[in-house]
Amino acid sequence: MIIALDGPAASGKGTLARQLAEHFGLRHLDTGLTYRAVAAALLARGLPLGDEAVAISVAQNLDLGNLDRNQLSAHEIGEAASRIAVLSGLREELVRLQRTFAEQEPGAVLDGRDIGTVVCPDATAKLFITASPAARAKRRTDELNGKGIPADFNEILVDLERRDERDSTRKDSPLKPAENAHLLDTTEMDIDSAFRAAVDIIERAR
């Protein structure tokens, strides 16, 4: 069983993916972390983000078991991840790792931007999670403030919209719903109702 969750930044797909993995007894991979880990390694070494060969060699040494969102959550890392995510050779390498993860028993929940379209086109269930830009910016602002990190709603909104625009308009694997994806708009939903709606969709698709 493979569950594909795609959607824009801060749509809530990460939280949902974790909960669904636990509910269905599956492993979970947040594929955004694979792009973030490569970006963070390049930033830490002061290497250019456009050098595809270097990015690929970093990707080849990634340990999927050792990706920690807390260490990779910085705003600059998300921005750099979205910039390197346009490199097709890098995507190929990361997609290979992600597929290998997805195909191991007993199956997995993967969340990202291109899971239903590229990484796992034959997934058991595909969900495309959206929410209005304002709702997503508010959630991200509250999340950061909750951790004691000062965050400005308007700045976050502008950043999210810029990243969504880059992710949706890139040539290779743009952010878009797969043809047979179920759309779930969580603008008016809390985490519990989003979770229940997702479980319903998946139960029907099984």
Residues of this chain that bind ligand C5P (CB under 6 A): 9, 31-32, 35-36, 78, 81-82, 85, 112-114, 163, 167
**Backbone φ, ψ for residue 111 (5° rounding):** -125, 145
Task: DSSP for 85-98, please give it.
Answer: TT-HHHHHHHHHHH
Query: Measured from the CB atom, is 6 or 24 closer to ligand C5P?
Result: 6
Query: Measured from the CB atom, is 57 or 168 closer to ligand C5P?
Result: 168
> CB 55 → ligand C5P: shortest distance, Å?
12
Neighbour-count burial for 131-168, b at 16+ CB within 10 Å, e otherwise: bebebbbbbbbeebeeeeeebeeeebbebbeebbebbe
CA distance 145 to 154: 14
> CB 26 → ligand C5P: shortest distance, Å?
17
> CB 149 → ligand C5P: shortest distance, Å?
16
> CB 140 → ligand C5P: shortest distance, Å?
10
Query: Measured from the CB atom, is 25 or 67 closer to ligand C5P?
Result: 67
Do the Cβ atoms of 129 and 181 come closer than 8 Å? no
CA distance 35 to 82: 8
